Amino acid sequence: MNAVAPGIPCWADLATADLAEAKRFYGGLFGWTGRVSPQPEAGGYTTFLLDGQAAAGVGPPATPDQVPIWSTYVATDDADLVATRVAKAGGQVVVPPLEIFDQGRMAVFADPAGAAFSVWQPMAMGGAEVFNVPGALSWTELVTPDPEGAKAFYELVFGWQPEEQPMDPVPYTGWRCGSRIVAGMMPPLGDGYPADLPAYWSVYFAVTDTDAAAEQAVELGGEILVPPWDLPVGRIAALRDPHGALFSVITLHPQR
C-alpha cells in the first residue's frame, strides 16, 4: 500500500447508522469480513477484509442527519496543503485535517458543485491493501453537472490532467495523475438517478459477474438504480444498499 502515490484514490468507506446491517449486506455481496477498531472513540469503525486484506471501511455518520454515503479518499503526503488548495480553488473545507489515532490524517472537502471527497495522509494505515479483483475497489468517478468547473478545480487541488475518453453514449473524462488515469468524470445519466441528486463521487467494486451481483444485491435488500450495461472498460451496474447508499459494481474486461 505504500506504493500508492499522492493524488491516487486509496480508500473508500461507508458512513451509515446501521453498522450491523451494512456488514450483513456487503458481507453477503462481496464476501467481506469485518475487523472492528479497538478504539472506543472510533464508534465501532470496521475495516472490511477481503481474504484478510483491507478492502474498504464502514463507520457511524458524522452527524445524526447525515445520509448513508460512500466516500472516496485520495492519497496525499500533506493534508494541510490540500486544504489550502481546496479553499483557494473555491471548494469547501468540511472537516479540517485531523489525526485518526495513529492511523493517519484525514480531511473532508466539497468541490464547488457540492461533491464531497476526502484525503488520507497515511501513518500506520496506508489505505486499501487490495484493488481490481472481485470484492475490491476498482474505480472512483465524479458525477457532476459542471464538468468544466471540475476540470479547473481538481487540477488546482491534485494536479490532475483531464483527458477525454471513448465512452459513448456519454461524454467521459479521465483524470490523469502522472502516467496513470486514476479516476473518471461524467455528467448525470438522468434515467435511474434521483433528479435532485447533487454532484457526488461514486465508488466501483469489481465483481466476477455484474448481472449476478445486481440480482444478489436485490435479494439482500438493495436496489438496482441502473441495470447492467456495457462500456469499453467492462459491464457495470449502479446499485443502492438497503439504507440508500449509492455504489456501483463492474466486471472488468481482462485487458483493463
Q: Report the pLDDT value the prediction gives residue 1, as an integer from 0 to 100.
A: 37
Q: Report the pLDDT value the prediction gives residue 149, as an integer from 0 to 100.
A: 96
Contact 186, 172 (CB under 8 A): yes
Identify the burial level of 140 via C-beta atoms within 10 angstroms of its C-beta, where 0-12 means exposed, 13-18 middle and 19 or more buried.
buried
Q: Report the pLDDT value the prediction gives residue 256, as an integer from 0 to 100.
A: 54
Contact 89, 136 (CB under 8 A): no
Q: Report the pLDDT value the prediction gives residue 232, as an integer from 0 to 100.
A: 81
Q: Which residues pair with 172 in a beta bridge?
A: 165
Q: Name the CATH superfamily, with its identifier, for domain 137-252.
A: 2,3-Dihydroxybiphenyl 1,2-Dioxygenase, domain 1 (3.10.180.10)
Per-residue pLDDT of the chain (256 residues; tens, 9 = 90+): 345 789 999 999 999 999 999 999 999 999 999 999 999 988 999 999 999 999 999 999 988 888 999 999 999 999 999 999 999 999 999 999 999 999 999 999 999 999 999 999 999 999 999 999 999 999 999 999 999 999 999 999 999 999 998 776 678 999 999 999 999 999 886 555 555 668 999 999 999 999 999 999 999 999 999 999 998 889 999 999 999 999 999 998 876 5
Dist CA 172 CA 34 (whole Å): 35
pTM across the whole model: 0.93
Q: Report the pLDDT value the prediction gives residue 2, as an integer from 0 to 100.
A: 46
The enclosing H or E element of 79 equals: helix 79-88
Q: Report the pLDDT value the prediction gives residue 165, as an integer from 0 to 100.
A: 84
Q: Report the pLDDT value the prediction gives residue 242, as an integer from 0 to 100.
A: 97
Q: Report the pLDDT value the prediction gives residue 197, as an integer from 0 to 100.
A: 65
Question: CA separation (Å) from 116 to 8, 43, 111, 214?
Answer: 16, 22, 7, 26
Q: Report the pLDDT value the prediction gives residue 35, as an integer from 0 to 100.
A: 96
